[in-house]
Amino acid sequence: MLIVACLCPLFGFTGSHVPSLSRSSRLVASRQSPDRASNPQTVSLSSMRSNMLCTSYLAPFLLTSYLCLFTVFFPSSSSKITLPSDSSNKVSLGLYYESLCPYSANFIVNHLPKIFDGDLISHVDLNLVPWGNAKLKGNAAFDCQHGPSECLLNTVEACAIDIWPELNEHFPLIYYIEKLVYSHEYTQWESCFEPLGLDSKLVSDCYAGGRGKELELKYAAETNALQPPHQYVPWVVVDGKPLYEDYENFLSYICEAYSGTAKPEACSELSSNRVQLREARKSHPVCYMKEKTSSPVFEVMRSAVESMTSWTKMLLDV
């Protein structure tokens, strides 16, 4: 009853608007004093005193209720809770790659996922740029180093990044596509969508509707603007500095570049042996950028030989 009495004034009800409360007052008065019950004026005065007494007791509760409702419906900017942000201390990690380069696939499948171990990813801004060593031609057309299939998959991955901008949405798809590339089964790339619960039609529409080409031209401009210019793929950049052929040791570079006060757990786990290993081995296989030849037949043969050689080197290196 106390709660009801406190809330009633908030919705425009006074003592006269709550018939059950007035009726109760009359019943109590009639039972205690028949003479008072027969006198309307006495009953009215009694009700007024009761209401005044109730109001005096409920005033603090009414004030609190009003203040609570005001805070709920009209929160002030000072009442908002602002969580501490570490965005200013994030390390940028850029991966410039092409989908069918075996070394790009190897890096994405076997090395890059380490960034998701522990809390490291919360301290890193990862930017994937699927363009690589492709070459621009006239009329906004382009050729890819490993042929039309690579142009297709570059565009598919560009569309995925555009459609699902959150890293935890587009990276799993890119990972599974590159895993198929790694196992020489990339023609089955369309099978990657369903297990992830992603709609493949969105990517198909992006590719067929021209949005994919627009994205690839954007990535071409971003890649061509690199300073120093990229020489091969994968081209890994940490805070604007290329790692060259030491790209597989990207974790140690991230930890060195991190300037926050709380050191990421993954960085604490990097032992001195890991640093010594990085110093001892700074060369990892890459797909070098080649000048475009005027002979299409020679280009096809060169691309096939280069792919076979790249895979052989990678297997021997492992």
pLDDT tens, residue by residue, 22-55 = 433 333 344 444 444 444 444 443 444 444 444 4
Please report whether residue 70 resides in a domain: no
Same domain, 23 and 110: no
> Taken in order 271, 272, 276, 278, is the CA torsion positive or negative?
positive
Same domain, 24 and 110: no
Same domain, 166 and 278: yes
Same domain, 131 and 22: no
Same domain, 29 and 110: no
Please report whether residue 190 resides in a domain: yes
Q: Tokens 């096809």 sit at which residue?
A: 300
Helix, strand and coil percent figures for the chain, each rounded to 5:
65, 10, 25
pLDDT at 188: 98
Please report whether residue 32 resides in a domain: yes
Residue % of the chain over a pLDDT of 90: 53
Cα 231 to Cα 127, 289, 305: the distances in Å are 18, 6, 20
Residues 248, 236: Cα–Cα separation, whole Å = 9
Residues 180, 192: Cα–Cα separation, whole Å = 9
Number of domains in the chain: 2
pLDDT at 7: 43
CATH of the domain at 286: 3.40.30.10
Residue % of the chain over a pLDDT of 70: 60
Identity of the residue numbered 154: N
Which of the residue ranges 4-8, 242-246, 310-314 would you say has the lowest mean pLDDT?
Answer: 4-8
Q: Identify any residues that bridge with 92 across adjacent strands, giving them in sequence order.
A: 125
Which of the residue ranges 39-43, 259-263, 278-282, 289-293 would you say has the lowest mean pLDDT?
Answer: 39-43
Residues 257, 11: Cα–Cα separation, whole Å = 59
And the tokens for 7?
């809330």
Please report whether residue 82 resides in a domain: no
Please report whether residue 46 resides in a domain: yes
Mean pLDDT in residue range 251-267:
91
Residues 257, 295: Cα–Cα separation, whole Å = 45
Instruction: Kindly tell me if the per-residue pLDDT of 266 is higher than 50.
Output: yes
Same domain, 52 and 106: no
Same domain, 155 and 286: yes
Please report whether residue 289 resides in a domain: yes
And the tokens for 195?
């297990």
Please report whether residue 64 resides in a domain: no
Full residue range of the structural domain in which residue 37 is found? 2-57
Top mean-pLDDT range of 1-15, 20-34, 41-55, 177-191: 177-191
User: Phi first, then psi: what are they for 243, rounded to 5°?
Assistant: -95, -5
Q: Is the pTM value of this prediction over 0.95?
A: no
Please report whether residue 297 resides in a domain: yes
As a whole number of Å, the CA-based R_g of the chain is 35
